[in-house]
Amino acid sequence: MTAPLIEVEHLTMRFGGLVAVDDISFSGQPRQITAIIGPNGAGKTTVFNCITGFYKPTVGRLTLHGDRDYLLERMLGHEIGQRARVARTFQNIRLFPAMTVLENLMVAQHNKLMAASGMSIYGLLGLARWRTAEARAVDLARGWLERIDLVDVADRPAGELPYGAQRRLEIARAMCTEPRLLCLDEPAAGLNPRESAELNRLLVSIRDLDGIGVLLIEHDMSVVMSISDHVVVLDYGRKIAEGDPASIQRDPAVIRAYLGTDESGADG
């Protein structure tokens, strides 16, 4: 087994008296899709928010192994994207709706372009090195637009796109940050079966072609079971099972969490 990409150790998150996530440990491998599943309120998004710096964990260590080891729990929100290169999408889509599709993908390359524009000075002067950097950024964006089939609408405001296209664009935007780890919060929510199948292909290509490790929160079991390499099951903030998709499907604890226990017990 290779070294993991992300290691979550003893992660606990308390909000006042409420324990949203309770002593969870798991790891995600590079070039693998790790799915986090669980009933509503199991703490999946809280785990994501801790990894991407939106919450500071109460207890625990989050390590991303990149060119060096990044301790995510000690980093500021934007540094996790900038240095550790963890990108994420949101359960409720968060694009920049008034900006065009292409502009959304350009904003994602902010830090790289900022350096290339010499903190705007080369850019203001219109130097060649800025122009080539910008052209390269546009090429990267165009490549992603081709992959998600949105080249034609590149100059339309992102907020005008249909829902499914917005979902794909948000993933492309996250990928334009050139991440090491991609965290997707319910990417298939609200998609029809055809769009869902397209999404599967996109995620598999991100894993196999781009070689990115993916963390995936998903309710749609057809997505989870068909593309994930490893599944972590949460319930009431605890990890109740972990393993490959096939074994998870047979796991009695998982079945109990999803279908409920038989309260009468004796004759069950």
Q: Say whether residue 251 binds other proteins (CB under 8 A).
A: no
Select the span of 25-33, 112-120, 217-225, 249-257 touching other proteins (CB under 8 A). 112-120
User: Binding of other proteins at residue 253 (CB under 8 A)?
Assistant: no
Q: Point out which span in 150-158, 230-238, 240-248, 249-257 binds other proteins (CB under 8 A).
A: 150-158
- 88 binds other proteins per the rule CB under 8 A: yes
Is 71 near other proteins (CB under 8 A)?
no
> Which long-range CB contacts under 8 A does 146-153 form with residues at least 24 apart?
147/172, 147/202, 147/205, 148/172, 148/202, 150/101, 153/101
Stretch that binds other proteins, among 13-21, 116-124, 186-194, 229-237 (CB under 8 A): 116-124
108 makes contact with other proteins (CB under 8 A): yes
What would you report as the CA-atom Rg of the chain, rounded to the nearest whole angstrom?
Answer: 20
With CB under 8 A as the contact rule, the residue among 20, 87, 175, 217 that binds other proteins is 87
Among 23-31, 66-74, 85-93, 222-230, which window interacts with other proteins (CB under 8 A)? 85-93
Judged by CB under 8 A, the residue of 44, 147, 167, 173 near other proteins is 173
Provide the binding-site residues for other proteins, judged by CB under 8 A. Answer: 52-54, 77-83, 85, 87-88, 90, 94-100, 102-103, 106-111, 113-114, 117, 120, 123-124, 134, 138, 141-142, 145, 151, 154-155, 157, 173-174, 177
